Amino acid sequence: MKSLKSGKGISASVENITPSGIWIFVNGKEYFLNYDQYPYFRDQTLKSIQNVKLLHGFHLHWPDLDVDLEIDNLENPEKYPLISKVTKRTTVRRKLKKVKQH
């Protein structure tokens, strides 16, 4: 897998974006976030998905998407049974609302 974002000292990076989800590499471990469980990554730009920050060693933050996940959510999904209700329609409504506000 070719890295989309590389460099020394990076503790969180997006390694691959596929039609079914994204692969991220965090502190030596690789995680797959599928779009069914993490729909807020679907239909986003490469740049916004790749812009991920690791905060406090356990908190992933995508500032361009306003998405926050803890590593524990990825390692122990059974502890977090709620799945996002974000849909494509919701995303479109948010974009339209922003356009109307400006």
Question: Which structural domains are found in the chain, ordered by start?
Answer: 12-101 (3.30.2020.40)
Q: Per-residue confidence at 5, pLDDT binned at 50, 70, 90? A: very low
Predicted local confidence at residue 77, as pLDDT: 82
Cα separation, 81 vs 99, in Å, equals 34
Q: Per-residue confidence at 12, pLDDT binned at 50, 70, 90? A: very high
Q: How many CA atoms lie within 13 A of 65 on its CB side?
A: 24
Which tokens hold the place of 24?
A: 């991220």
CB atoms closer than 10 angstroms to residue 27: 10
Residues 34 and 21 sit within 8 Å (Cβ to Cβ) = yes
Cα separation, 61 vs 93, in Å, equals 23
CA distances from 6 to 10, 29, 87, 96 (A): 7, 15, 31, 34
For 17-45, write each residue's pLDDT tens digit: 999 999 999 989 999 999 998 999 999 99
Predicted local confidence at residue 97, as pLDDT: 53
